[in-house]
Amino acid sequence: MNGQTVVVTGASRGIGRAVAVDVADAGAHVVVCARNGDTLTDLTEEIDERGGSATPVRADVRDEYDVERLMEQAAQVGHGGSIDAVVANAAVYHGDSGTTPLSTESYTAFDNHLRTNTRGVFATLREALPHLAENGRIVVTSGIVARDHVEGYGSYAVSKAAAEAVARGFAADTDHVVCIVDPGQVATDLSGDRGHDPADVAPQFRWALSEAPADLVDGEIIDRGDWRSATA
């Protein structure tokens, strides 16, 4: 990914952080975003120590004006004034993983899940498009709870299902490659301490962003099995 500019939202921890480090290791300049800008300091220092380059930008994906500014800043540091790839990863989960059934979900939690995890994805993709390179790609992070009957994930699962629909809509309505990456169970603060190490799933995202055949991933859900089969 030498010379490319990649935007990663929700980059301060978990999957987002691992993906940011991985694409920087691969030669990209990564623009890292989080709601709390102070949380990006350690990440940018780590990337710098590994010989990579990163630009931290504080932005809240719930605010389209923040996201507009994020993409404008990313394009300014990008080669040719454009963005090569975007990872729409920012998400929240109110409650402990798997313990928030929809039947007891609060309206506040429902609204914030949809506002962050769905509308935030919409804003990220919409505001990226004017700055996306001709062959630029977008990846949206999701999981099995968006599609399967899994107890206890409430409006978080609803928001992820809706985010997948947003991704498919952009794939259908634009010429850019837009895909959904499902890395399986990953050990993060959001989902709990069980599952794959975030560093182990980051190459799946990089593959979808850079190496995967466009006709294989555009508008599709790429899970861990798909990735392994395609790269075996």
Domain ranges of the chain: 5-231
How high is the mean pLDDT of the chain?
93
Percent of the chain with pLDDT over 70: 97
Report the alpha-carbon distance of residue 80 to residue 15 in Å, rounded: 28
Nearest to 161 by CA among 123, 218, 113, 203: 113
- pLDDT band per the 50, 70, 90 thresholds, residue 55: very high
pLDDT tens digit string along 135-161? 999 999 999 999 998 888 999 999 999
Is the predicted pLDDT of residue 85 greater than 80, yes or no?
Answer: yes
Q: Is this structure's pTM higher than 0.85?
A: yes
Strand 5-8 to 83-88 pairing: parallel
Exposed/middle/buried for residue 193 (C-beta within 10 Å: 0-12, 13-18, 19+): exposed
Is the predicted pLDDT of residue 190 greater than 70, yes or no?
Answer: no
pLDDT at 193: 67
| CATH code 3.40.50.300 for 5-231 | no
pLDDT at 191: 59
